[in-house]
A and B are shown apart, each in its own frame.
Chain A
Amino acid sequence: MALSQVRTKRLVAIHGWSGVILGLLLYVVILTGAVAVFSFEIGSWSASGTKSAEPFARPFDETLRRLAESVPATYHDDISVFPNSAGHIVAFLHTHTTNAEGDPDEKGVLFEVHPKTHAILAQREGFASEIFGVDPWSALDEFLVELHVNLHLPDPWGLYATGILGLLMLASAISGILIHRHLIQDLFVAPRLSSRLLNARDRHNLAGTWSLPFAFVLAFTGAYLSFALSLGLPTIGAVAFGGDQVALIERLIGVREAEDPTTAPLANIDGMLAASAEAGGTAPRGFIVRHWGRADATVTVSHLPAEGDLTAAQQLFDGPSGRHLGPKPGIGTKPSAGSTILGLIFPLHFGNFAGVLSRTVWFALGLVSCYVTLTGLRLWMARRDEHPVWRRLARAVAVVGYGLPIAIAGSGIGFFLSLPAEQTLFWTPAAFSIASAVAIGVGLVVHKDRTLARIYRLMLGIAFIALPLLRMGLGGFGWGHLMESGNGKVVAFDLVLLIAGAGFLVAAAGLASRAAKEPRAADGIAAK
């Protein structure tokens, strides 16, 4: 598509200014998103492995009945059972109501159960908004996920912010296509070395071009998820359900329309889980019992996708008889295009459909998008580096670019240091803030760009290497025990961190030796 020069200039301005204004925030969301792809693995790693790869390998029926009998009957409305990242079985027996703020919420009792002994490890009663997210073992992965999802801003502003950033990424991708006239011809042109500016432009364009398809996918699905929760559902609730969000959610989930409160015991849950495993093709990952002890009770069993599949079907059972009613769509009670599309949005955004392989590719795609964002910002600054304001902003790009991964690693260090005292809920975010402040402080004090990069790489190297050592040194399991207990992923995670840490130390040393060889060049950068 040929654009006039005026239009192209206008688009370049939109592309550049939108990036300059929100680019660093976008980088925060993308990088934390790339890390959050491994949130379950990070949770499992920070807890030194899961207790059991298959949470329902041991029959659970007797334990579930014991838990149900121990809580008031009002909490029998819904029983959600799923494993957490430490491998504990979490059972939340609850009812749907509104909390003190008048927002729809779930109230009940949450149990954490050991997957092998079925001993109750923790028990909390209250609203879901209060009793979830207070487990000290899950503090690190939940902190990182929340940072990606809502930047730790209050609801719904955080979701609005990340939704807008998703739309910005989408707009940048579209304007990028329109202003890059030789998209196809330049597909294999490596960054040219003839000038610093041309090299910076080629780097940005090349990475931007190749990452375009997934930039669209990740930006669209991310914006959708943010706005669907913060804007879409409340709006539909207000328009179509007269503000009754509980009724809206029930309609979306697809509960039975005909209520039958007659007392009827639930059939054996283990029989339903076994039948579901056969129908779903994979071991159950969790289940929900609706209307426990009633004639209209249903059990919905969820699974990970079967080998080769992108999405996983839920299996629905009649509670009293245990009869398999067939696969249940994600939305409503009958298969629909909306349910299929929504079913695709989750795996396409989270990349969690094929284990570590798909997560690794999604992580890499996230890193490429980070690279595109940072190189775009640096290109914009480089074109204006004669002006002191832009030079200071260029410094901010370096500080945030290196500072964010340093802060993320810092949150991990804070997590492990505070784990023995079970103070992780406070110290994980506190350590993130402290590490951010240190990174910013270093950026303010050190004026030479190359020295600054060297210090940041050194900090990253030390922090990455410290993480597995702290995990093992402060009560976590060693590699021998982890391999024996089937937690090889934790060992692999340790190794990745050690290798990445060593890589950053080598990179820091490389910058040091280059600075020694080219002292004038280094000073020249410093002078800017």
Chain B
Amino acid sequence: MTTILTLAAVAVSLAGLIYLAATDPKRRRAFNLPPCSRRLALFAWIVVFAPGATLLATEQTAAFVIWLGAGTIAGWLVAAKAPTPGASAKSQ
């Protein structure tokens, strides 16, 4: 149960992190990509943190701590990958 909950929580947060990375203004500037016309940053951050809050609220402390650890690794891996030129066209 802990494994399934953790993986599901990390997957949801990962989706939010990927969106935030793809639309991040400084990242786009650094790689000469055009800025995004619309960025739902607040909503994306809620998506990132909501699984953790849910795990805490349901007293799944082990899953919460693993989610926190796995989330930071996932965030680093997402951010460390340089954007591809194809990504710019999609997110415009």
Binds B, one of A255-263, A352-360, A407-415: A352-360
Are A210 and B73 CB-contacts (below 8 A) given A186-B26, A190-B31, A357-B3? yes
Cβ A357 vs Cβ B2 within 8 A: yes
| B68 lies within 8 A of chain A by Cβ | yes
Cβ A358 vs Cβ B26 within 8 A: no
- Collect the chain A residues with CB atoms within 8 Å of residue B35's CB: none
Report B1-25 residues with CB < 8 Å from chain A CB.
1-3, 6, 20-21, 24
| B40 lies within 8 A of chain A by Cβ | no
Kindly provide the distance from the CB of B65 to the nearest chain A CB, expressed in whole angstroms: 6
Cβ B72 vs Cβ A210 within 8 A: yes
Cβ B69 vs Cβ A189 within 8 A: no
Kindly provide the distance from the CB of B4 to the nearest chain A CB, expressed in whole angstroms: 10
Chain B, interface size category, equals 20 to 34
Cβ B76 vs Cβ A210 within 8 A: yes
Question: Which A residue's beta carbon lies closest to that of B6?
Answer: A357
| A362 lies within 8 A of chain B by Cβ | yes
Report A74-125 residues with CB < 8 Å from chain B CB.
none
| B53 lies within 8 A of chain A by Cβ | no
Name the contact of A305 in the complex, choosing from B27, B62, B80 (C-beta under 8 A): B62
Cβ A188 vs Cβ B79 within 8 A: yes
Cβ B30 vs Cβ A310 within 8 A: no
Are A368 and B83 CB-contacts (below 8 A) given A188-B21, A307-B2, A354-B2? no
Query: How far is B36's CA from A377's CA once the two chains are assembled, in angstroms?
Result: 36
Cβ A310 vs Cβ B73 within 8 A: no
Cβ A354 vs Cβ B62 within 8 A: yes
| B81 lies within 8 A of chain A by Cβ | yes
Cβ B79 vs Cβ A206 within 8 A: yes
Interface size (A, Cβ < 8 Å)?
33
Cβ A190 vs Cβ B73 within 8 A: no
Cβ A361 vs Cβ B76 within 8 A: no
Cβ B82 vs Cβ A354 within 8 A: no
- Contact flags A180-214 to B (C-beta < 8 A → 1, else 0): 00000111111111000000000100110011011
- Collect the chain B residues with CB atoms within 8 Å of residue A484's CB: none
- Collect the chain A residues with CB atoms within 8 Å of residue B1's CB: 307-308
Query: How far is B1's CA from A348's CA once the two chains are assembled, in angstroms?
Result: 20
Cβ A308 vs Cβ B73 within 8 A: no
Cβ B82 vs Cβ A191 within 8 A: yes
- Collect the chain A residues with CB atoms within 8 Å of residue B66's CB: 354, 357-358, 361
Report A204-251 residues with CB < 8 Å from chain B CB.
206-207, 210-211, 213-214
Are A206 and B60 CB-contacts (below 8 A) given A186-B26, A188-B20, A189-B24? no
| B70 lies within 8 A of chain A by Cβ | yes
Kindly provide the distance from the CB of A492 to the nearest chain B CB, expressed in whole angstroms: 14
Question: Which B residue's beta carbon lies closest to that of A209?
Answer: B76
Name the contact of B73 in the complex, choosing from A348, A357, A365 (C-beta under 8 A): A365
Are A187 and B62 CB-contacts (below 8 A) given A210-B72, A307-B1? no
Which of B21, B24, B27, B30: most chain A CB closer than 10 A?
Answer: B30
Kindly provide the distance from the CB of B66 to the nearest chain A CB, expressed in whole angstroms: 5
Cβ A192 vs Cβ B30 within 8 A: yes
Cβ B82 vs Cβ A190 within 8 A: yes
Cβ A368 vs Cβ B62 within 8 A: no
Cβ A361 vs Cβ B73 within 8 A: yes
| A386 lies within 8 A of chain B by Cβ | no
Kindly provide the distance from the CB of B5 to the nearest chain A CB, expressed in whole angstroms: 8
| B61 lies within 8 A of chain A by Cβ | yes
Cβ B62 vs Cβ A213 within 8 A: no
Are A213 and B2 CB-contacts (below 8 A) given A188-B24, A190-B81, A358-B66? no
Query: How far is B72's CA from A308's CA once the two chains are assembled, in angstroms?
Result: 20
Are A361 and B69 CB-contacts (below 8 A) given A188-B21, A189-B24, A210-B79? yes
- Collect the chain B residues with CB atoms within 8 Å of residue A361's CB: 66, 69-70, 73
- Collect the chain A residues with CB atoms within 8 Å of residue B24's CB: 187-189
| A155 lies within 8 A of chain B by Cβ | no
Are A353 and B82 CB-contacts (below 8 A) given A188-B20, A188-B21, A188-B24? no
Give the 7 A-B CB pairs with smallest separation, nearest first. A210-B76, A188-B24, A190-B82, A188-B21, A361-B69, A310-B61, A354-B62
Question: Which B residues are within 8 Å of any A CB, using their own CB?
Answer: 1-3, 6, 20-21, 24, 26-27, 30-31, 59-63, 65-66, 68-70, 72-73, 75-76, 78-83
7 CB contacts below 8 A, A to B, read A188-B24, A189-B24, A213-B68, A354-B2, A358-B66, A365-B69, A368-B76
Given A357-B3, A368-B72, A368-B76, 20 further pairs, Cβ under 8 A: A188-B20, A188-B24, A192-B30, A192-B31, A206-B79, A207-B80, A210-B73, A210-B75, A210-B79, A308-B1, A308-B2, A308-B59, A310-B61, A348-B65, A354-B6, A357-B6, A358-B69, A362-B69, A364-B70, A368-B73
